[in-house]
Amino acid sequence: MATLRDIRRRIKAVKNTRQITKAMKMVAAAKLRRAQGRMMELRPYADKMYEVIATLGRMGDMELHPLLAKRPRKTIELLVITSDRGLCGAFNTNVMKAATAFRNDMKSRGFEVSISTVGRKAVDFYRRRDIPVRNKWSGISGKIDFLNAKAIAANLTENFINETLDEVYILYSEFKSMIAQKPTVKRLLPLAGDTEPGAEPVPTVDVIFEPSPAVIYERLIPKAIEIEIFRALLESQTSEEAARMSAMENATKNASEMIQRLTLVANKVRQATITKELMDIVGGVEALK
């Protein structure tokens, strides 16, 4: 049985851990407010951009821009977005489970699947399994900028135009609420007028191209790719901070419960020690009689 000194030492260690998890929860809450604000500001713009591109894709000529071109699927790219750091519950695990399921499904259908990653956790996941990663971006978690999205978009669009990739999908954790983040797979390239299965249909409207379809496509379509990637990065960052805040809150509660249990054990050990000492004194007195 552990001594009273050992139990008190453990209580002190758990209290120190509780202070750390409580501080991490407060930091995550502050980061969450900033990230959620940026995400909520971008969502309406990104939704309207997608609606415009989908409408133009149906009304215009697909051959006017290479990012609209559809070709037989051979090589599919999956861009997986995770975090750079841990201590965020099942956030990264859920994303990687969805990535594995998507990759296995596509490979079972005869397609070649390449992987690109954002975040160190995805890189570590694939390195442990000896799965090659075509390209990776890390060190941007918590400090996402639109330039990051532009760099990722430039790499993906270049490989799509060169026909190295036939389709590009993006996998990220979509922020639903403080306690719910959903791994979401969305087709990024080619941009086309058709909607994804299960998505709400884009309303049909009459379109007047000014100055010309070619000029409009050249300006809007690359920007739409960048906006979609930027949105996914912000959604992922918000989900990460929400998951971390929830995980640290649970860890703090568990530490408090452990401290209560250890304190109860310490009191029992202390009482048992006092009782033993009293019995020794009584026994000594009786022996002297």
Give me the active site residues, please: 88
Print burial letters for 70-105: b (CB count within 10 Å at least 16), e (below 16).
eeeeeebbbbbbbbbeeebbebbebbbebbeebbee
Question: How wide is the angle at C-alpha 81 spanned by C-alphas 100 and 90, nearest 5°?
Answer: 70
Closest CA to 81 of 184, 10, 5, 160: 184
The dihedral formed by the CA atoms of 246, 250, 252 and 257, expressed in degrees to the nearest 10: 160
Closest CA to 77 of 166, 157, 143, 162: 166
Closest CA to 232 of 137, 125, 123, 97: 137
Contact at 8 Å (CB) between 255 and 18?
yes
Cα 187 to Cα 171: distance, rounded to the nearest angstrom: 9
Cα 235 to Cα 47: distance, rounded to the nearest angstrom: 13
Q: Give residues with Cβ within 8 angstroms of 23, minimum separation 6.
A: none
